[in-house]
């Protein structure tokens, strides 16, 4: 636009007409005030109160005597690229986990897992899966709408009667409440968190 006016000597109206711009739009000068002080205070408050969004920061700014519209504060909040900081997730172990040793004989390690699904009528059912990790043999598939801890230990007792006791049972946190009962049977229960 400026090039057409300065270099070619076109009038402002003709240059605007060539590119399809209204002359009023070209001449417009913003009267918006300088928001530097508000931006600085907004950044400092957001740094102090990391879990506060723009609405709560607006309340704090109004308490300090700044008269602001919530829409204007939201625009400044976005332009400053501020956002509510997410809370930290579950703390996980640092470093890499050593992979579990592969058992060399049957009955060294059994794995427990729960699988669930729904029927056509909306009812849920669960399946307890018990697998020997060496032979990959499925020792039990227990299907029911509800599997309590007592039911799990009863099924494990049944399998132990038929096959003998394993050296360890590995699960992904399904036996937390039954640890004491199984320890009394001299079965080593170690919870194994699956590496994500």
DSSP result, 124-193 = EEEEEEEEETTT--EEEEEEES---HHHHHHHHHHHHHHH---SEEEESSSSGGGHHHHHHTT-EEEE-P
Same domain, yes or no, for 13 and 56?
yes
Q: What confidence score (pLDDT) does residue 95 get?
A: 63
Q: What is the structure's pLDDT at 1?
A: 74
34 is a domain residue: yes
Give the Cα-Cα-Cα angle 148, 149, 152 (nearest 5 degrees): 90
Residue 93 lies in a domain: no
Flag whether 90 is in a domain: no
Enumerate residues 6+ apart whose C-beta is below 8 A from 30.
none
Q: What is the pLDDT of residue 96?
A: 66
Residue 126, pLDDT score: 92
Q: How many domains does the chain have?
A: 2
pLDDT in tens, the chain (196 residues): 788 888 888 898 998 898 898 989 888 988 888 888 999 999 999 999 888 999 999 999 999 999 889 999 999 999 998 888 777 777 776 666 677 778 888 889 999 998 889 888 888 999 999 999 989 999 999 999 988 888 988 999 999 999 889 988 888 754 443 444 444 444 444 443 333 2
Q: Are strands 124-132 and 109-118 parallel, antiparallel or unpaired?
A: antiparallel
Using DSSP, state whether 63 is helix, strand or coil: helix
- Domain with 164 in it: 109-191
Q: Looking at the structure, do residues 128 and 70 belong to the same domain, yes or no?
A: no
Residues 69 and 132 in one domain: no
pLDDT at 65: 92
How much is the pLDDT for 194?
Answer: 34
Looking at the fold, whether 52 and 113 belong to one and the same domain comes out as no
- 116 shares a domain with 66: no
């Amino acid at each position: 636009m400026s090039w057409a006016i300065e270099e070619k000597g076109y009038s402002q109206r003709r240059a605007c007409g060539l590119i399809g711009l209204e002359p009023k739009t070209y001449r417009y000068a913003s009267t918006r005030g300088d928001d530097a002080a508000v931006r600085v205070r907004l950044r400092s408050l957001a740094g102090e109160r990391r879990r506060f969004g723009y609405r709560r920061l607006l309340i704090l700014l109004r308490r300090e005597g700044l008269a602001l519209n919530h829409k204007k504060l939201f625009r400044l909040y976005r332009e400053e690229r501020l956002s509510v900081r997410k809370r930290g997730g579950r703390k996980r172990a640092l470093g890499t986990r050593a992979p579990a040793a592969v058992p060399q004989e049957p009955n060294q390690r059994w794995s427990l897992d729960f699988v669930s699904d729904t029927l056509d009528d909306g009812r849920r059912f669960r399946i307890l899966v018990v697998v020997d990790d060496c032979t990959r043999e499925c020792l039990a598939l227990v299907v029911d709408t509800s599997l309590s801890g007592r039911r799990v230990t009863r099924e494990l007792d049944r399998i132990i009667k038929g096959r003998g006791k394993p050296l360890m049972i590995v699960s992904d946190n399904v036996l937390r409440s039954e640890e004491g009962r199984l320890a009394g049977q001299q079965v080593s229960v170690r919870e194994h968190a699956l590496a994500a």
